[in-house]
Amino acid sequence: MSRFASTVFLVSCLLIISSVAHALVVNGGLQALFSSDIPTIDGQWTTANEWTDASETRLENTVNMTGYLRVKHNFTCIFILLDFATDYTRSTYDIGGVCFDRLDNGGVLPQSDDYLFGIQAGQTPAQVDVFQGTGTGQYPRDAWARVSLVDVEGKANYSHVNDPYEGSIDHRIYEFQIPCKYLGAAEDYGFYVFACDYHSNSMLEWPLGAGGNWTRMQPLFNVPPSPQNWGAVTDNFIPEFPLNTFALLIVLAFSAVMLIGEEKLRLSLRAHAR
């Protein structure tokens, strides 16, 4: 391969890699980092490092409410922390939820591959309400049906213990544990998260500005916007790259080795010729 051809090849690889990376994050993307440390689902920072090995995303809205989203997995379950650092009121009707689009195929209405896992903070006994898309109705809120899935765990609490974001005032925190068996094997899923504070009548969501809809006393399934507005979460085993990008990087590295070898051979031949 001539030096010119090699350069063209390398530049092409780089262009393909950048386009692949961009295509994954139309509405925004985040990663579920692998960790073998399983969190305790009790709605608080059980230890100071319980979530420090998870990915971290800051949430905010137009009235200066802030929160933090952390996501990790252990191949068996996905774990989610939703730390609403500025919700200082322990309202019965505070709610938090996460949505997954298994096939990441978007659409206006939730379909049967789409799930909503939600918690109403004051509900007794504490439980996670699970809904599955039906694909029918006029609005997204019409297209959710309650289902029962075992081994899904979630808890809302009101705490500041060990909390790196708000360590002195109690506030709303939600934790979820969702078995991967319900989400199937995929590199990425559609993903949407929300937390609503009853007292201040405001909500946080991810992706920021996705268009979630909440008014006080409305049910959980009123909140999520159309799946086409959700972002994406990636949980593959090479956190930094999608698999096809990784394959391209290997080709790139191989080409670089070939180029160096070619240059060494040329220098060696030149030395012999003298």
Q: What is the x/- site pattern for Ca ion, positions 73-112, by CB under 5 A?
A: --------------x-x-x--x------x-x-x-----x-
Q: What is the x/- site pattern for Ca ion, positions 20-49, by CB under 5 A?
A: --------------------x-x---x---
Cα–Cα distance between 13 and 274 in angstroms, integer? 37
Binding of Ca ion at residue 113 (CB under 5 A)? yes
**Shortest Cβ distance from residue 50 to Ca ion (Å)?**
5
Binding of Ca ion at residue 197 (CB under 5 A)? yes
**50 vs 248 by CB, closer to Ca ion:** 50
**Shortest Cβ distance from residue 90 to Ca ion (Å)?**
6
Between the alpha carbon of residue 249 and those of residues 59, 78, 100, 256, the distances in Å are 33, 28, 29, 10
Q: Environment class of residue 33 by beta-carbon count within 10 Å: exposed (0-12), middle (13-18) or buried (19+)? A: middle
Cα–Cα distance between 93 and 198 in angstroms, integer? 6
**57 vs 171 by CB, closer to Ca ion:** 171
By CB under 5 A, name the binding residues for Ca ion. Answer: 40, 42, 46, 87, 89, 91, 94, 101, 103, 105, 111, 113-114, 197, 199
